[in-house]
């Protein structure tokens, strides 16, 4: 619903927009492998020889997996991207709705489908994305060598080239050779084996049989292609007879340019018999031949062998026809057909089926809005609470004339104008040319002016910083006005900005189509009368539907009594008839001003659509076009304002548009100032980095960043210079040296033992340089000295999360592991290696722990205890108070680990773990061996539905497998409350029987989408081979993000558990194992505070998540025990007995 005014506004509903998506197409390089091609045994440059190479390897592997998905032939590609397999067919749409049988007027049964509008919008958006994907695939198939020869399948490829005179016509041979070179380099060079043959009257083979692909063989094949020449007729039968004898080949590329010499029947019968029962892919290409016979042979050969055909025109340099393109276009037509059916469903009928589209959001908003309206019993009698505005409202355009950026002189060009200078150009007679002015050492910044010219601007940072602050204050004022326009009746009507001596006429649409909006119309008029009409001169209200109905016959003075009577009249309005907007406009324009022509009038039109009349008739009074355009033009034609709103708020408003344009202008000004300030900052930084104090004469340059303050015992720079001058007068120049025979002394701050190869970080000293009064001598003022670096490493303060995060233990420990939190005691407590003791002395100071050793050697070794750390004798450089801090921090971390373990063992996570994916498929083993455990599994699965699926709104489905596969729903469904109830009912009707068809269950799960998390619960081995399941799962999940998490439920078979672990790890999933009452043990440990002690220990966890945490807990316990022993050694060292 909305309002237009001649100074005002309207409302309309906006349709959903679909974001375009798809994948890009381009040339594939030699890194892209054909599906099924094993990797090369030799080093292909991808071996990890450095830690950084791992990232490159993963990137290339991702590139290869993407390329393999693209390089699939279209029939295989369609298995993942067809309309049916994508879950976008009509049957999938019908499954998302509620279908019932109803009787029509004749008593016949008809199907009635009830479906939500959101579901239709979702399917429509996905169908449009699928169509874009098909178009991208077609575009990819028409690029490079794929346009000429199509997609070549297989890893052992044989190439047959027609070299007859008819095929090699004038100009065609060189073009064919160029295209073959591209094919070899882009696609054939990465196959496992190659075989090449040309056939004319006789056949000519490059090799006697298929050869392994090597760089030398690829070069031989390229040279052989360049040597092709016409060779008589086209003996296709002899060529096929020879190549079909090579049983190693799994793919044949036939390039035919002329009609074969043999008849079609003989040729096709022979090929059909030779390929019977053999897995051989034949791609027949008609290259540059427009003969119907050649094209017919190619298509018939593809049909007989179950292969594919490709037709390329060398004259037009385009692909004429292809079996791949035909298949994709058929799928495009199917998708468009489903889109057409969706449009018919929105119309209420699909064939013989009646369809009702439920507007869920609209119904909720209507109920929400109506619930806030006053009760009918009180609203009819309640008087209006009139509000008199304390100021005269104005349009945003008028308001900006006094409060906008230009009015406040906050335009960036207004601020920079006093500091901007245009470049000067003058003719110099001596040079005989025009010379442009330049700026000395870039003292100014070039800045583009609003008229397109470039001026030199002097940047004053304080001025620009102050200007930016003013911009921020101005934007806040603009935002406050936008918020004010979104409150009360202004959200519906905008500002009624007529002055005190002006009249207001309100036109209200009460046609039959607005019957559901009648409560909204009444409350909108009530808000208008209460908040914005009290200070107007006169007003009137006209309601139009099929007929006109006005409150008064002329404009009436605005008073409290008249406003109350108008409100009572509004409560009696009813919706009926059509939308006769033309009559209402005629009444408003031609008759209603006769009473008081000296007063100007504001016309406010509240409507929900276009009028019944032809718009040309309405345009005779106002303006043009339909719905939003018509109503917008209707307002703008009389210099009014347009206002469009819906239940959720304002959609479009001229007032708010003007304010937002002013805010965007302020943002642009801010960005221009930032560019100027950044340019000055960069230039200042470069100057500091490159310039430094230079000494005249032969003195070297002094670099500011690397200057080290002089040692107290050394001569200052000024004294050195004076001494040098004296030596120059009386004797030759001599180098200033320290005592002969001794190494050059280092500054005290940078002293290190002689021969030490370690690099010490140079300390930075803050100082300033100045010239003294005597000549060019320099003086230094030191402002800041480097802080002495402590040998001891401080114990870090651990920050731990209070709430649990839904992630795997591996991801969680990357953030909160012992090493990540820098609590590794071996790194914190160990000092330098002790070279005075190659073996422990006989007397141990602390025999209880066998850690500390007393050294009788040098003095500094006597003060530092020696400990064994990772098999090396080291000095213990840590204080007891630091060890106390370490024990406190590790105690907190240990308790946090125990909380995490307890969380993983609570609720449904005890069996299924934490669900990480947004799309989930749960596979439940219902074989006969699960009969005793199935009731408990049902309870846990019900807990999973309500504990993890429903709160996180996960899209899920359930599948039970025994001797056969049973599915709850064939597609992923959002975990709404209704869907979760249905899933719970479905789970409780399951029963245990039959075998364990694990492979079929995984195949169904892999077909649900490209990114699905599969959680499979089983208690033993499958019926089929474990290696077969592992191989097939890897093949089906290739190119997809299918992650299989396995759950071993009360399984004591180690081989079965190992199979489940391998299945999970193969797809980057997690392995879980049911642990019984381990959660009770952890809860007891937490309650008694015994988690920090060595005993009792955790049970032997088998699942990946719990085992990883338990391993981290054991490491932390070991460090705490070691820290306590170190602390005891240090205390005994201080108080020797």
pLDDT higher at 808 or 620: 808
Lowest mean pLDDT among 196-200, 244-248, 899-903, 926-930: 244-248
Say how many Å lie between the first and final Cα of the chain, rounded. 93
| Range among 107-111, 839-843, 1013-1017 rated most confident | 1013-1017
Give the integer Cα–Cα distance in Å for 1043 and 1013.
5
CATH of 913-1074, one of 3.10.150.10, 3.30.420.40, 3.40.50.1980, 3.40.50.410: 3.40.50.410
Separation between Cα atoms, residue 545 and residue 509, nearest integer Å: 6
* Residue appearing with tokens 């040998």: 791
Q: C-alpha distances in angstroms, 1090 versus 416, 1080, 1087, 1095?
A: 71, 14, 8, 7
pLDDT at 361: 43
What is 492-651's CATH superfamily? von Willebrand factor, type A domain (3.40.50.410)
Give tens-digit pLDDT for 299-338.
Answer: 888 888 888 888 887 666 666 678 888 888 888 888 888 8
Instruction: List the chain domain ranges.
Output: 152-316, 492-651, 913-1074
Average pLDDT, the chain: 74
Strands (E), 941-1062: 955-961, 965-967, 973-974, 1011-1018, 1041-1048
Left if phi > 0, otherwise alpha if psi is -120 to 50, otherwise beta: which for 603?
A: beta
pLDDT band for 24, please (50, 70, 90 cuts).
very low
Count how many residues are written for the chain. Answer: 1137
Nearest residue to 1057 via CA among 1118, 1106, 1127, 1104: 1104
- Write out pLDDT tens, residues 643-701: 776 655 677 778 888 888 888 888 888 888 887 777 776 665 554 444 444 333 333 33
Q: For domain 152-316, which architecture applies? A: 3-Layer(aba) Sandwich (3.40)
Q: What is the mean pLDDT of residues 270-292?
A: 79
Q: Do domains 152-316 and 492-651 have the same CATH topology?
A: yes
The answer to whether the beta carbons of residues 659 and 396 sit under 8 Å apart is: yes
Q: What pLDDT shows up at residue 464?
A: 84
Residues with Cβ within 8 Å of residue 173, at least 6 apart in sequence? 228, 229, 230
Per residue in 938-960, pLDDT (tens digit) is 988 999 998 899 888 899 999 99
How many alpha carbons lie under 13 Å from residue 790 in its C-beta half-sphere?
8
Q: How far is CA 534 from CA 112, 491, 496, 667, in A?
A: 53, 18, 11, 38
pLDDT tens-digit series, residues 1084-1131: 665 555 555 555 566 778 888 888 988 888 888 888 888 888 888 888
Question: Token pair of 972, please?
Answer: 């992923």
More confident residue, 266 or 836: 266
The predicted-structure confidence for 604-639, as pLDDT tens digits, reads as follows: 888 876 665 554 544 444 433 356 677 777 777 767
Bridge partners, 433 (sequence order): 428
For 598, what's the count of Cα atoms within 13 Å in the CB-facing half-sphere? 2
């Amino acid at each position: 619903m909305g309002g237009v005014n001649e100074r005002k506004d309207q409302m309309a509903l906006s349709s959903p927009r679909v974001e375009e998506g798809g994948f890009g197409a381009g040339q594939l390089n030699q890194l892209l492998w054909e599906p099924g091609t094993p990797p090369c045994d030799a080093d292909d440059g991808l071996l990890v020889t450095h830690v950084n190479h791992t990232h490159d390897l993963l990137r290339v592997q991702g590139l290869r997996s993407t390329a393999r998905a693209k390089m699939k032939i279209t029939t295989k590609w369609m298995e993942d991207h067809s309309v049916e397999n994508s879950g976008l067919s009509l049957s999938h749409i019908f499954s998302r709705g509620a279908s019932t049988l109803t009787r029509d007027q004749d008593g016949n049964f008809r199907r009635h489908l009830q479906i939500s509008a959101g579901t239709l919008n979702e399917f429509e958006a996905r169908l449009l994305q699928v169509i874009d994907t098909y178009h991208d695939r077609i575009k990819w198939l028409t690029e490079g060598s794929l346009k000429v020869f199509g997609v070549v399948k297989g890893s052992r490829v044989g190439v047959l080239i027609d070299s007859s005179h008819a095929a090699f016509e004038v100009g065609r041979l060189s073009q064919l050779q160029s295209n073959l070179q591209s094919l070899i380099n882009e696609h054939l060079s990465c196959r496992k084996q190659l075989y090449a043959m040309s056939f004319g009257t006789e056949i000519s083979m490059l090799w006697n049989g298929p050869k392994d692909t090597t760089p030398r063989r690829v070069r031989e094949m390229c040279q052989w292609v360049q040597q092709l020449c016409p060779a008589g007729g086209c003996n296709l039968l002899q060529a096929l007879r020879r190549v079909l004898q090579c049983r190693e080949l799994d793919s044949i590329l036939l390039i035919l340019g002329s009609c074969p010499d043999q008849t079609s029947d003989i040729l096709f019968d022979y090929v059909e018999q030779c390929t019977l029962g053999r897995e051989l892919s034949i791609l027949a290409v008609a290259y540059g031949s427009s003969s119907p016979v050649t094209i017919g042979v190619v298509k018939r050969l593809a049909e007989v062998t179950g292969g594919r055909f490709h037709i390329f025109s060398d004259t037009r340099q385009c692909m004429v026809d292809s079996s791949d393109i035909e298949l994709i276009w058929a799928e495009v037509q199917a998708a468009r057909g489903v889109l057409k059916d969706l449009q018919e469903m929105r119309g209420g009928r699909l064939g013989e089926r009646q369809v009702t589209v439920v507007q869920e959001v609209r119904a909720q908003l209507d109920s929400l809005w109506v619930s806030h309206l006053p009760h009918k019993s009180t609203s009819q009698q309640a008087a209006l609470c009139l509000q008199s505005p304390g100021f005269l409202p104005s349009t945003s355009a008028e308001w900006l004339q006094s409060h906008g950026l230009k009015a406040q002189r906050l335009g960036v060009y207004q601020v920079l104008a006093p500091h901007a200078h245009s470049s000067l150009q003058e003719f110099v007679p001596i040079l005989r040319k025009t010379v442009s002015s330049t700026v000395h050492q870039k003292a100014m910044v070039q800045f583009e002016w609003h008229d397109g010219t470039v001026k030199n601007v002097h940047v004053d940072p304080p001025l620009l910083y102050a200007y930016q602050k003013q911009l921020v204050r101005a934007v806040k004022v603009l935002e406050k006005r936008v918020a004010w326009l979104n409150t009360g009746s202004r959200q519906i009507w905008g500002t009624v900005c007529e002055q005190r001596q002006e009249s207001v006429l309100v036109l209200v649409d009460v046609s039959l189509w607005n019957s559901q909006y009648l409560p909204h119309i009444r409350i909108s008029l009530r808000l208008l009368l209460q908040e914005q009409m009290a200070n107007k001169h006169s007003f009137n209200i006209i309601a139009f539907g099929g007929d006109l109905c006005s409150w008064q016959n002329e404009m009436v003075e605005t008073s409290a009594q008249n406003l109350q009577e108008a409100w009572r009249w509004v409560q009696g309005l009813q919706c009926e008839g059509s939308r006769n907007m033309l009559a209402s406009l005629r009444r408003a324009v031609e008759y209603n001003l006769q009473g008081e022509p000296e007063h100007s009038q504001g016309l406010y039109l509240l409507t929900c659509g276009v009028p019944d009349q032809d718009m040309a008739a309405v345009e005779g009074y106002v303006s043009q076009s339909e719905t939003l355009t018509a109503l917008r033009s209707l307002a703008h034609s009389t210099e009014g304002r347009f206002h469009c709103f819906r239940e959720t708020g304002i959609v479009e408003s001229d007032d708010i548009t003007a304010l937002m344009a002013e805010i965007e202008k302020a943002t642009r000004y801010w960005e221009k100032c930032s560019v100027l300030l950044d340019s000055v900052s960069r230039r200042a930084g470069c100057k500091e980095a490159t310039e430094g104090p230079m000494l005249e004469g032969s003195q070297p340059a002094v670099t500011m960043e690397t200057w080290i303050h002089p040692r107290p015992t050394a001569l200052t720079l000024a004294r050195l210079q004076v001494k040098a001058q004296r030596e120059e007068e009386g004797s030759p120049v001599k180098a200033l040296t320290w005592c002969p025979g001794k190494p050059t002394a280092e500054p005290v701050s940078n002293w290190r033992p002689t021969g030490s190869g370690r690099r010490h970080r140079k300390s930075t000293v803050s100082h300033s340089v100045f010239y003294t009064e005597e000549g060019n001598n320099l003086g230094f003022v030191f402002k800041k000295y480097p802080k002495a670096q402590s040998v001891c490493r401080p114990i870090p303060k651990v920050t731990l999360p209070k709430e649990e995060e839904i992630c795997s233990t591996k991801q969680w420990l990357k953030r909160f592991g012992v090493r990540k939190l820098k609590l590794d005691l071996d790194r914190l407590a160990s000092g330098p290696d002790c070279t005075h003791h190659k073996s422990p002395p006989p007397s141990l100071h602390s025999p209880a722990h066998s850690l500390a050793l007393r050294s009788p050697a040098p003095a500094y070794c006597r003060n530092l205890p020696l400990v064994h750390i990772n098999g090396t004798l080291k000095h213990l450089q840590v204080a007891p108070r630091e060890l106390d801090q370490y024990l406190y921090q590790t105690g907190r971390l240990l308790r946090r680990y125990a909380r995490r373990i307890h969380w993983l063992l609570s609720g449904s996570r005890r069996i299924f773990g934490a669900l990480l994916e947004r799309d989930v498929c749960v596979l439940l083993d219902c074989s006969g061996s699960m009969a005793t455990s199935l009731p408990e599994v049902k309870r846990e699965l019900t807990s999973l539905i309500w504990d993890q699926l429903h709160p996180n709104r996960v899209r899920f489905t359930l599948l039970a497998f025994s001797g056969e596969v049973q599915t709850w729903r064939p597609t992923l469904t959002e975990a709404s409350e209704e869907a979760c109830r249905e899933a719970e009912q479905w789970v409780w009707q399951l029963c245990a029987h039959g075998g364990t068809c694990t492979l079929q269950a995984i195949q169904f799960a892999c077909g649900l989408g490209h990114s699905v998390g599969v959680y499979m619960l089983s208690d033993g081995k499958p019926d089929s081979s474990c290696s077969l399941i592992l191989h097939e799962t890897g093949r089906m999940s290739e190119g997809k993000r299918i992650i299989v998490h396995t759950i071993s439920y009360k399984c004591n078979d180690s081989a079965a558990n190992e199979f489940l672990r391998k299945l999970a790890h193969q797809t980057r999933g997690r392995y879980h194992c049911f642990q019984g009452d381990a959660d009770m043990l952890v809860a007891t440990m937490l309650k008694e505070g015994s988690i920090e002690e060595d005993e009792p220990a955790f049970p032997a966890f088998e699942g990946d998540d719990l085992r990883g945490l338990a391993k981290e807990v054991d490491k932390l316990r070991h460090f705490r025990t070691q820290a306590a022993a170190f602390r005891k050694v240090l205390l005994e060292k201080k108080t020797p007995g």
